[in-house]
């Protein structure tokens, strides 16, 4: 493979600072390019393919924040990681503004040579891996396109199939080669296939062919359900992928025969799967950029808690006995998904989401879940593998060494960080959302409360972002508030958003649709009683099901966790004013 050329753009209006940075990075395997202003940097970005930008904040005319926003706003340059280099240490507002402008990290002046080189090398390695994968993807795409062209012009197997599903004697000789058999005439088509295909689809094939011979059926209505569209044909020596297409032949207004074409599309399928694998690798590599900009304290807690939860899931899969066990299993997976999403670790949250899908598809049935043990274990292994990748990267780079070795951040601060990260990583308009925690007393919370409350505040924040905040209001400023206190020797935590409030009509619609309540009961319920329905499984006011919301499981998840902890939760809502959740917890 050709050598990959990488360039680092260093932007600073002070020549002495540029000289220092040049000295620190002198031995890295990349070309250093320098700019003395934001405008000059933008001009350079039009001419060069840059791998990383080190950007000074305090510059005349155009400061670093403005330059970063312009870089992030361009399709050509939005992917380039930006590290702010600044002498401003003590003002957290500047750090927050930096991240909002698009920075992935900070280097504080005077720059520590070890930390600076480590951070730069991490981002260059990620860029190198991304480019390698892009080259591989390009080669695979060209190979796939070439294979596709060959397949289009290659001879296909053709045969006639009668209403008894027997192959007529006059078939094309290519069929012998494709099936690796001879003398196929007058033989039953399904019987020929049976030893080499998944035994569970015999009936599907038979049903499909019966429909094809039924003239009253419009074939267009079930063409997407063709089980022969992509058929795995497996022998002791090899595996092929075959694609069948059938057309009706009418005589006397009856379907007498089907003319079937079959093509061996094995190469095309294999190339497509290679492309999917490299795309998956690309996604993993790009996600590592998110890891660098993740708050290290939250990442540390996530690693510790997730490893514990993975062990819980693994043990639960082995010992399932009741539906309650499956509910606990689902809740644990849901916790991993929410916390991964909070840190923008999308690969992990997607894999957890897929595992949730699998459990829901099994209808929380114990026996079906046991039968799916291997499939669920494979999905679990993918999550574990990704956590191992993260640990390995941290060990290799040592970028987080200083932060990880210092005293842990206070639990109250981590709760605030969890909400901030969830807002940032799950909302495209996060810069406009005001988060008010002025009435939140950090000292009320210890490590035990953080582990417990993190899952809850993340879920509530995701709900606000998905369908709580009301952008339809004129001059609307979205706001999320967090408040805490001690009442009657109980710890009280209030979470509020100023959105549309609970949508009672949708709650009623879902409750009736899922037969949770009878129409007569609904008519006699107060708003407070209707609001309590959101804690029932299957009740969601979201119009669509997605990664953030829609299944009607999240609020039930919250209520279960709070009750297991020995607390309770209340909800208060006013249309287009607020939705407030009040959690009353024992003091540990």
Please report the pLDDT score of residue 285 as a whole number.
Answer: 64
Structure confidence at residue 185 (pLDDT): 92
User: 63-67, 104-108, 437-441 — which is least confidently predicted?
Assistant: 104-108
β-bridge pairing 82-86 and 157-162: unpaired
From the list 496, 494, 485, the residue with the least C-alpha distance to 587 is 485
- Provide the pLDDT for residue 153: 42
pLDDT of residue 468: 83
Grade residue 502 by pLDDT with cuts at 50, 70 and 90. confident
Residue 105 pLDDT greater than 90, yes or no: no
Give pLDDT, residue 396. Answer: 57
pLDDT at residue number 9: 94
What confidence category does residue 404 fall into, taking pLDDT thresholds of 50, 70 and 90? very low
Assign 262 to helix, strand or coil.
Answer: strand
pLDDT of residue 504: 82
CA 290 to chain CA centroid, Å, is: 13
The architecture that CATH gives domain 294-408 is Up-down Bundle (1.20)
Instruction: Examine the pLDDT at 549 and tell me if it is beyond 60.
Output: no
Answer whether residue 25 shows pLDDT above 80.
yes
Cβ neighbours around 32 below 10 Å, total: 15
Whole-number pLDDT of residue 541: 56
pLDDT of residue 288: 61
Asked if residues 445 and 411 have their Cβ atoms less than 8 Å apart, the reply is yes
- With 0-12 CB in 10 A as exposed, 13-18 as middle and 19+ as buried, what is 115? middle
For the chain, give the percent of residues with pLDDT over 90.
Answer: 19
Q: What's the average model confidence in pLDDT over 62-66?
A: 88
Question: Between 134 and 169, where is the model more confident?
Answer: 169
Helix axes 296-318, 373-397, angle to 10 degrees: 150
Average pLDDT on 204-229 reads: 85
| Range with the poorest average pLDDT among 323-327, 408-412, 432-436, 495-499 | 408-412
Average pLDDT over residues 88-107: 72
Domain boundaries, given as residue ranges, for the chain: 7-125, 154-269, 294-408, 417-586
Domain 417-586 matching CATH 3.20.20.70: the answer reads no
Phi, psi of 431, rounded to the nearest 5 degrees: -65, -25
pLDDT of residue 403: 46
pTM: 0.48
**pLDDT at 10 (0 to 100):** 93
CA distances to 10, 341, 346, 456, 469 from 423, in Å: 30, 10, 14, 14, 12
Give dist(CA 404, CA 113) in Å, integer: 19
Most confident of 151-160, 221-230, 291-300, 388-397: 221-230
Is residue 535 very low, low, confident or very high in pLDDT (cuts 50, 70, 90)?
Answer: confident
Q: What is the pLDDT of residue 146?
A: 54
Q: What share of the chain in percent tops pLDDT 70?
A: 85
What integer best gives the mean pLDDT of the chain?
82
pLDDT of residue 350: 86
Pairing state between β 52-56 and 82-86: parallel
**Overall average pLDDT of the 289-312 stretch:** 76
pLDDT at position 7 is: 92
Among 336-345, 421-430, 559-568, top mean pLDDT goes to 559-568
Residue 321: Cβ within 10 Å count: 9
pLDDT digits (tens, 9 = 90+) for 441-484: 888 787 777 777 888 898 899 888 887 888 888 888 899 999 99
Comparing CA positions, the residue from 175, 170, 189 lying closest to residue 240 is 175
- Nearest to 33, CA basis, from 56, 10, 59, 55: 10
- The gap from C-alpha 275 to its chain's centroid, in whole angstroms, comes to 19
Is residue 110 reached through a cis peptide bond, with omega within 30 degrees of 0 on the bond before it? yes
Annotation: CATH topology of 154-269:
Beta-Lactamase (3.30.450)
pLDDT of 395 strictly over 70: no
Q: What are the tokens at 327?
A: 């509910």
Q: Does residue 150 have a pLDDT over 50?
A: no
Fold equal for 7-125 and 154-269: no
Say whether 551 sits in a helix, a strand or coil.
Answer: coil
pLDDT tens, residue by residue, 382-391: 888 888 877 7
**Overall size of the chain counted in residues:** 588
Kindly give the pairing relationship between strand 568-574 and strand 434-439: unpaired
pLDDT exceeds 50 at position 106: yes
Q: Domain 7-125 carries which CATH code? A: 3.40.50.2300
**Cβ(302)–Cβ(340) below 8 Å:** yes
- DSSP reduced 3-state for 481: strand
Look at residue 238 and tell me whether its pLDDT is greater than 70. Answer: yes
- Percent of the chain that is helix, strand, coil (3-state, to 5): 55, 15, 30
406 pLDDT tier (thresholds 50, 70, 90): very low
What was the pLDDT predicted at 375? Answer: 85
Q: Given this model, what pLDDT does residue 168 score?
A: 92
Are 493 and 441 spatial neighbours (Cβ–Cβ below 8 Å)? Answer: no
CA–CA distance, 553 with 502 (Å, rounded to integer): 16
> For position 588, what pLDDT does the model report?
66
């Amino acid at each position: 493979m050709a050598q990959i050329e990488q360039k680092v753009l260093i932007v600073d209006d002070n020549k002495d600072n540029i000289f220092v940075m040049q000295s620190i990075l002198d031995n890295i395997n990349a070309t250093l390019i320098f700019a003395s202003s934001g405008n000059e940097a933008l001009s350079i970005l039009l001419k060069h393919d840059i791998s990383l930008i080190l950007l000074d904040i305090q510059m005349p005319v155009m400061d670093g924040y403005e330059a970063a926003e312009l870089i992030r706003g361009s399709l050509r340059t939005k992917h380039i990681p930006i590290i702010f280099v600044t002498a401003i240490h003590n003002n957290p507002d500047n750090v927050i503004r930096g991240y909002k402008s698009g920075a992935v990290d900070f280097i504080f002046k005077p720059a520590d040579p070890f930390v600076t080189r480590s951070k730069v090398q991490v981002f260059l390695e990620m860029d190198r891996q991304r480019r390698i994968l892009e080259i591989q993807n390009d080669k695979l795409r060209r190979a796939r396109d070439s294979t596709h062209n060959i397949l289009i012009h290659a001879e296909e197997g053709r045969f006639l199939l009668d209403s008894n599903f027997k192959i007529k004697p006059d078939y094309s000789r290519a069929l012998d080669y494709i099936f690796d058999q001879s003398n196929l005439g007058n033989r039953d088509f399904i019987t020929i296939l049976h030893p080499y295909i998944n035994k569970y689809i015999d009936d599907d094939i038979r049903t499909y062919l019966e429909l094809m011979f039924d003239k009253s059926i419009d074939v267009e209505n079930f063409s997407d359900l063709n089980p022969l569209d992509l058929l795995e044909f497996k022998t002791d020596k090899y595996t092929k992928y075959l694609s069948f297409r059938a057309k009706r032949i009418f005589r006397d207004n009856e379907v007498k025969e089907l003319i079937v074409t079959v093509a061996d599309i094995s190469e095309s399928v294999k190339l497509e799967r290679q492309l999917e694998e490299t795309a998956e690798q690309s996604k993993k590599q790009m996600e590592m950029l998110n890891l660098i900009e993740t708050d290290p304290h939250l990442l540390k807690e996530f690693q510790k808690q997730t490893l514990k939860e993975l062990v819980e899931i693994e043990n639960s899969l082995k010992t399932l006995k009741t539906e309650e066990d499956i509910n606990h299993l689902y809740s644990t997976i849901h916790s991993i998904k929410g916390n991964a999403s909070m840190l923008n670790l999308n690969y992990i949250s997607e894999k957890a989401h897929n595992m949730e899908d699998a459990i829901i598809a099994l209808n929380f049935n114990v026996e079906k879940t046991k039968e799916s043990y291997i499939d669920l274990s494979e999905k679990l292994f993918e999550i574990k593998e990704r956590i191992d990748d993260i640990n390995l990267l941290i060990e290799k780079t040592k970028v987080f060494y200083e932060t990880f070795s210092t005293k842990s951040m206070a639990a109250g601060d981590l709760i605030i960080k969890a909400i901030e990260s969830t807002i940032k990583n799950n909302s495209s308009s996060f810069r406009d959302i005001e988060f008010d925690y002025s009435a939140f007393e950090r000292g009320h919370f210890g490590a035990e409360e953080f582990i417990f409350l993190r899952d809850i505040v993340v879920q509530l924040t995701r709900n606000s972002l998905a369908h709580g905040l009301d952008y339809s209001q004129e001059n609307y400023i979205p706001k999320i508030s967090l408040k805490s206190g001690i009442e009657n020797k109980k710890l009280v935590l209030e979470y509020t958003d100023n959105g549309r409030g609970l949508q009672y009509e949708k709650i009623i619609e879902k409750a009736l649709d899922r037969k949770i309540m009878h129409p007569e009961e609904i008519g006699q319920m107060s708003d407070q009683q209707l609001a309590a329905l959101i804690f029932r499984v299957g009740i969601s006011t979201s119009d669509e099901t997605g990664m953030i919301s829609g299944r009607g499981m999240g609020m039930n998840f919250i209520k279960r966790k709070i009750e297991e902890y020995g607390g309770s939760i209340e909800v208060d809502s006013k249309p287009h004013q607020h939705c407030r959740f009040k959690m009353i917890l024992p003091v540990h």
